[in-house]
Amino acid sequence: MKTERPKPNTFIIRCLQWTTVIERTFHVDTPEEREEWTEAIQAVADRLQRQEEERMNCSPTSQIDNIGEEEMDASTTHHKR
C-alpha cells in the first residue's frame, strides 16, 4: 500500500556507509518514545564521534611511552616474592 505521508511519530536515520547513504525509517507509538529513541541514537553518535576524535588526536610517541610504562609495571609486579 502506498501513502503520501509518513505515520505520526516517524523518524528517519540517515548515515554514510563507505560511500553509500543509508536511510532507515522508524515508527513508534508516542512522541515521547520518538524523543527517547532520537536522543539515545544521538548520544551514541556523539560518543562515537568523540572516540574517533580522541583516537586521531593521540600522538604516536605518547602511545609508545604508555606501552613502555605498562611493560615496566608488568615486569615489576611479576618479580615480587
Range of the domain at 20: 1-56
pLDDT score for 46: 94
Question: Counting runs of H as helices and runs of E as strands, what totals does the chain give?
Answer: 2, 2
Neighbours of 34 (CB within 10 A): 17
User: How many domains would you assign to the chain?
Assistant: 1
Cell numbers for 17, please give them. Answer: 556507509
CA distance 20 to 14: 10
pLDDT score for 67: 58
pLDDT score for 71: 56
46 inside domain: yes
CATH number at residue 32: 2.30.29.30
Nearest by Cα to 45 from 11, 9, 18, 16: 16
11 inside domain: yes
Per-residue pLDDT of the chain (81 residues; tens, 9 = 90+): 445 577 888 999 998 889 999 999 999 999 999 999 999 999 999 999 999 898 888 866 555 555 555 555 554 444 444
